[in-house]
């Protein structure tokens, strides 16, 4: 994840911005439809631990794998302040076999990781090996079908036209990354022995807002979250989402 590392400091600085708050809340809601207390969970690239901590809060036994010492520290501090336990391991997706020594989990998550991987197929295969029998895999990725939507909503017509013919983009951290189409991800999942159980859109109506926009006291966040959640669960809206969230089952 060398690409992300170059944008890590800016990522931490923007953790409280509206875009990230929406993204994390949508993934939390979507995951909650597939998770029950007592499940073992592996969160790969867990970062500052937003989802790992939420999963621990509902009674899951959570292990986070994260290559950044700074982000692991943030996760540990936030878990401790909430009175929760999250096992944290130093490592990246390429090192899972070495770090986990054959351990498998009821749910394996990799959110915001695939866009930085040189080989999506290999990354999905590595994650799949960590999933227990009848377990689930939860992944998010940049939506290649809607790559032109954000620049168009920002009235960047040249950028929108260019994005329609590309699977690469420069994200809000200034890092070059890759977008994927859901049918290509599904092929990788099938190769790994999985079928898609559900898929969702993440951030449909609010993707064009500036990355520096903070949560405002004037925002009706409950209504905003409900609208985004509804759009992320149904056609045609979810096809326009910035990211897609796939939950697959072995």
pLDDT, average across residues 73-90: 96
pLDDT tens readout for residues 156-173: 999 999 999 999 999 988
Domain segments of the chain as ranges:
2-143+170-249
pLDDT tens readout for residues 44-63: 999 999 999 999 999 999 99
pLDDT, average across residues 36-41: 98
Looking at the predicted structure, is the pLDDT value of residue 230 above 60? yes
Looking at the predicted structure, is the pLDDT value of residue 1 above 60? no
What global pTM score does this model have?
0.95
Mean pLDDT of all residues belonging to the chain: 95
Q: How confident is the model at residue 79 (pLDDT cuts 50, 70, 90)?
A: very high
What superfamily in CATH does domain 2-143+170-249 come from?
A: Vaccinia Virus protein VP39 (3.40.50.150)
Task: Write phi, then psi, for 28 (nearest 5 degrees).
Answer: -60, -50
pLDDT tens readout for residues 113-130: 999 999 999 999 999 999
């Amino acid at each position: 994840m060398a690409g992300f590392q170059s944008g890590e400091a800016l990522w931490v600085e923007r953790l409280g911005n509206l875009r990230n708050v929406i993204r994390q809340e949508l993934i939390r809601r979507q995951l909650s439809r597939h998770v029950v207390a007592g499940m073992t969970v592996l969160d790969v690239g867990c970062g500052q631990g937003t989802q790992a901590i939420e999963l621990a809060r509902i009674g899951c036994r959570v292990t986070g794998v994260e290559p950044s010492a700074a982000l692991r520290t943030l996760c540990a501090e936030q878990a401790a302040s909430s009175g929760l336990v999250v096992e944290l391991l130093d490592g990246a997706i390429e090192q899972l076999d070495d770090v986990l020594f054959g351990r498998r989990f009821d749910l394996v998550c990799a959110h915001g990781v695939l866009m930085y991987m040189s080989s999506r197929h290999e990354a999905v295969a590595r994650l799949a090996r960590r999933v227990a029998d009848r377990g689930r895999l939860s992944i998010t990725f940049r939506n290649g079908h809607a790559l032109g939507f954000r620049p168009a909503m920002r009235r960047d017509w040249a950028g929108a036209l260019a994005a329609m013919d590309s699977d690469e983009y420069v994200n809000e951290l200034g890092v070059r990354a890759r977008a994927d189409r859901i049918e290509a991800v599904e092929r990788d999942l099938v190769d790994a022995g999985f079928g898609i159980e559900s898929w969702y859109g993440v951030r449909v109506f609010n993707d064009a807002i500036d990355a520096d926009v903070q949560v405002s006291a004037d925002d009706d966040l409950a209504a905003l979250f409900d609208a985004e959640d509804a759009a992320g669960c149904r056609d045609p809206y979810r096809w326009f989402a910035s990211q897609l969230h796939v939950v697959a089952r072995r």
